[in-house]
Amino acid sequence: MTKSEQLFERAVKIIPGGVNSPVRAYRSVGGTPRFIERADGAYIWDADGNRYTDYIGSWGPMLLGHNHPEIREAVCKAAEKGLSFGAATEAEVEMAELICSLVPSVEMVRMVNSGTEAVMSAIRAARGYTGREKVIKFEGCYHGHCDAMLVKAGSGVMTAGIPDSAGVPGGCAQDTLTAVYNDLSSAERLFEENPGKVAALIVEPVAANMGVVLPQEGFLKGLRALCTKYGAVLIFDEVITGFRLGIDGAQGLYGVAADLTTFGKIIGAGMPVGAYGGKREIMECVAPVGPVYQAGTLSGNPVAMAAGITQLRILRDHPEVYDKISRLGDLFRQGMEQVLKESGAEVRVTGTGSLACVFFTGEPVKDYASAKKSDTGRFGKYFHYLLGHGIHAAPSQFEAVFFSNAHKEEDISAFLGAAKAFLK
């Protein structure tokens, strides 16, 4: 028995499913999850000493690679001064100034501890600002595990085949309206059917929790126009895309400004951090300035701020990082297209920049319904083939492949070679 198997055997006795986040359990692909011992650059090592080239990157934040020396040094220096104060620090101010300077649509920002908390808080702020209650979301877009957003969600919920969640009272979700991603008319219909009642529309600008599904031409700009027309707050969930698709995220890439934006992952460089921010008039509704209450004892943790500030400054000062990771993404996608052409496999590859996804379906993937047609059984075999060849990809058909500045072209070539061997 391997050490990972031994650890999992211990874990299932005292942790639900043996894991602290469902997708880690390998339920959709089978087998025993690998327990990771350390990581550096583009690589991770499991408890048995096996090395893998990592394409999860802690689900996105390791844009510069694991254990980046400057980030590690900043964390150590911050930790020497204390781990938590429960009081205001200069680092919080520096982080807020940095985010506001990099994302034009963000005039004020509040730090929180996770992407879920950021979404929950942004929705509350939108409701407080508008005096309305209903929120529009899209099928397959995952916005964390807060009650109101677990309606036709993506990510782990989609992976597990759970359309909603037990434990969520009907009243919590009754004001959540669901539209179809890339279908403007479905969103407009919900506005028309609920006149003067929609507080906000929330969307992943690039849907990266049902695989990677790109917005079709005009979709995001159409959502911006709808929210303006109907007086609703447009919330971009950039927990994955923020600072990954460019220094100003998906908003910069697609030229669409949100009213509120949620962040996570990358702004903590791997530490547990989230944030929400946007227009000053909306953010000033948040306590202690306004009546919308939101608090967090550990929000703006000084060690986490040190990590995030260091990563964001590196990204700001070295735009060539984005050139490299986008080039790696293009190399992967173009290489996979060639592999698929040669093999004739019913597989689709999608993505943009440093995000990609391989869908085991022969149909174009443009929304939740088309993503769900993927052959998850076939994906599971593909996942284990990759793992057996030293490639650590997400154990779910409906998650992204993440590229980092630590990856090299030869890493991509090895990935493509393994995929080609599997699909031949």
**Residue 155, pLDDT above cutoff 80:** no
Check if the beta carbon of residue 251 is closer than 8 Å to that of residue 223. Answer: no
Mean pLDDT score of the chain, rounded to an integer? Answer: 94
pLDDT at 350 over 50: yes
Active site residues: 142, 237, 265
pLDDT attached to residue 165:
66
Does the pLDDT at position 147 exceed 90?
no
Domains and CATH numbers, the chain: 3-67+319-423 (3.90.1150.10), 69-317 (3.40.640.10)
CB of 400 closer than 8 Å to CB of 60:
yes
**Distance of alpha carbon 204 from alpha carbon 140, whole angstroms:** 10
Mean pLDDT, range 78-94, rounded to an integer: 97
User: Using one digit for the tens of pLDDT, what is the confidence trace for 218-227?
Assistant: 999 999 999 9
Mean pLDDT of 85-103: 97
**What are the b/e assignments for 271-303, b being 16+ CB within 10 Å?**
bebbbbbbbeebbebbeeeeebebebeebbbbb
pLDDT at 168: 72
Q: What is the mean pLDDT of residues 31-55?
A: 98
Q: Is the pLDDT of residue 159 over 50?
A: no
